Amino acid sequence: LVAGGKGDAGLYLNSAEFYDPATGIWIMARAMAMGRFAHTATLLPNGKVLVAGGANNISLLESAEVYDPATGAWTATGPMSDARRYQHTATLLPNGKVLVAGGRTPFVDSIASTELYDSATGTWTVTGKLNTGRLIHTATLLRSGQALVEGGYSGGYLNSAELYDPDTGVWVPTLSMNEPRIYHTATLLPNGNVLAVGGENRNRALTSAELYSLNAIDQLAFFVTQHYRDFLNRQPDPAGLAFWINQITSCGSDQTCVDIKRINVSAAFFLSIEFQQTGYLVERMYKAAYGDASGSSTLGGAHQLKVPIVRFNEFLPDTQRIGQGVVVGQMGWETGLENNKQAFAAEFVQRSRFTTAFPTTLTPAQFVDNLFVNAAVTPSSTDRNAVIAEFGLATDTTDVAARGRALRRVAENSIVNTQEFNRAFVVMQYFDYLRRNPNDSPDSDYSGYDFWLTKLNQFNGNFIDAEMVKAFISSTEYRQRFGP
Over its length of 484 residues, how does the chain's per-residue pLDDT go in tens digits?
Answer: 999 999 888 889 999 999 999 999 999 999 999 999 999 999 999 999 999 999 988 888 889 999 999 999 999 998 888 777 668 999 999 999 999 999 988 777 899 999 999 998 999 999 999 999 999 999 999 988 999 999 999 999 999 999 999 988 999 888 789 899 999 999 999 888 899 999 999 989 999 999 887 788 888 888 999 999 999 999 999 999 999 999 998 988 788 898 999 999 999 999 999 999 999 999 999 999 999 999 999 999 999 999 999 999 999 999 999 999 999 999 999 999 999 999 999 999 999 999 999 999 999 999 999 999 999 999 999 999 999 999 999 999 999 999 999 999 999 999 999 999 999 999 999 999 999 999 999 999 999 999 999 999 999 999 999 999 999 999 999 998 987 6
Which residues fall within 8 angstroms of residue 304, CB to CB, at 6 or more apart?
Answer: 294, 295, 296, 297
Cβ contact 232:323 at 8 Å: yes
In angstroms, rounded to a whole number, what is the distance separating the alpha carbons of residues 270 and 261?
Answer: 15
Nearest to 343 by CA among 280, 272, 401, 269: 401
pLDDT of residue 287: 99
User: CA-based angle 189:193:196, to the nearest 5?
Assistant: 80
pLDDT of residue 86: 65
Nearest to 98 by CA among 64, 131, 75, 68: 64
In angstroms, rounded to a whole number, what is the distance separating the alpha carbons of residues 198 and 175?
Answer: 18
Radius of gyration of the chain (CA): 31
Cβ contact 183:199 at 8 Å: yes
Q: Which domains does the chain have, with CATH numbers?
A: 2-214 (2.120.10.80), 273-479 (no CATH)
The torsion angle over the Cα atoms of residues 228, 235, 143 and 255, rounded to 10 degrees, is -30
Amino acid at 145: G
Q: Is 363 left (phi over 0), alpha (psi -120 to 50) or beta?
A: beta
pLDDT of residue 85: 65
- Secondary structure (DSSP) of 103-127: ---SS-SS---EEEEETTTTEEEEE
In angstroms, rounded to a whole number, what is the distance separating the alpha carbons of residues 385 and 365?
Answer: 9
In angstroms, rounded to a whole number, what is the distance separating the alpha carbons of residues 436 and 58?
Answer: 66
Q: Are strands 194-197 and 204-205 parallel, antiparallel or unpaired?
A: unpaired
Q: What separation in angstroms does the CA of 125 have from each of 59, 78, 98, 99, 262? A: 22, 10, 10, 10, 33
In angstroms, rounded to a whole number, what is the distance separating the alpha carbons of residues 287 and 350?
Answer: 17
3-state secondary structure of 457: helix
Cβ contact 248:378 at 8 Å: no
Question: Which residues on adjacent β-strands are paired with residue 2?
Answer: 17
Q: What separation in angstroms does the CA of 349 have from each of 177, 381, 397, 402? A: 54, 24, 11, 10
3-state secondary structure of 148: strand
In angstroms, rounded to a whole number, what is the distance separating the alpha carbons of residues 199 and 185?
Answer: 7
Quote the pTM value.
0.65
In angstroms, rounded to a whole number, what is the distance separating the alpha carbons of residues 373 and 354?
Answer: 15
Q: CA torsion sign, 285 to 289 to 291 to 293?
A: negative
